[in-house]
Amino acid sequence: MLYLIHGDQAEAARAKLIELKNQAANKEIREINGKRLDSTMLIQALESSSLFGADVFVIIEGFITHAKKREKSFTTTLSQIVKASETADIVLFEEKEVEKSVLLKLGAKCMAYGYKTPVVIFQFLDSVRPNNAATSLSYLSEVVENDAAEVVFALLVRRVRQLIQLKDNVTPEGLQEWQAGRLTSQARHFTIEQLVRMHKRLLAIDIAVKSSASPFTLTQQLEQFIINL
């Protein structure tokens, strides 16, 4: 059986991976760094017999994302993975959403689980700036109706760190050019001192939540954070 877990909603994707690993507790689990995967590595992972005579459960992480540019070898290895999944359990784990063209190559029998961050979360993150509390609070209210406040908090912390980097003329790793442009525009609404204070405030919120030192919920603290920008 072939499984695909993909998308940028990391916590949900990892939870699904753990679920599949738990279901395969009676098998020998083999985890492979897909960044350097080639046909030889794949054959070794699938054909080497288990020391205990158990079936193998192979997890390949990051193959599609990192090998897509090498079109010829990528297509060949992907075809081998699909063929091998007829007799072995293989999980492809990707931290980004996989393109539809690749999904088609995986075949109709592939069990695909997509975990994409809702657009409204990015609308909330983009709205965070001084004198824009009403808009940000409206988006936040919509977000927490369907997603955990912890997810929003983690993404907000990452966004503030990215803004600090851009304000210091450093492009955060993994950002596309258009993303860097959008975040650079957002960073113009802040001074570096404001962003550092925001980061310290978020750290204090994190400590308060984990130590149960605050009477407010995380959502309420996020609301206060936005109001006080």
The structural domains of the chain, with segments of one domain joined by +, span 2-114, 119-227
The H-or-E segment that residue 94 falls in is strand 89-94
- Which pLDDT value is given to residue 93? 94
Query: pTM of the full predicted structure?
Result: 0.67
205: which residues sit within 8 A by CB, 6+ positions away? 153, 214, 218, 221, 222, 225
128, 152 in Cβ contact below 8 A? Answer: no
Q: Does domain 2-114 have CATH number 3.40.50.300?
A: yes
- Which pLDDT value is given to residue 177? 85
Cα–Cα distance measured from residue 221 to residue 225, given in angstroms and rounded to the nearest whole number: 6
Q: CATH topology for 119-227? A: Zinc Finger, Delta Prime; domain 3 (1.20.272)
Cα–Cα distance measured from residue 61 to residue 178, given in angstroms and rounded to the nearest whole number: 26
- Which pLDDT value is given to residue 146? 82
Cα–Cα distance measured from residue 137 to residue 115, given in angstroms and rounded to the nearest whole number: 24
- Write out residues in the chain with pLDDT < 50, as ranges: none
Burial of 77 (0-12, 13-18, 19+ CB in 10 A): buried
Whether 119-227 and 2-114 are alike in CATH topology: the answer is: no
pLDDT digits (tens, 9 = 90+) for 148-174: 899 899 999 999 999 999 999 898 887
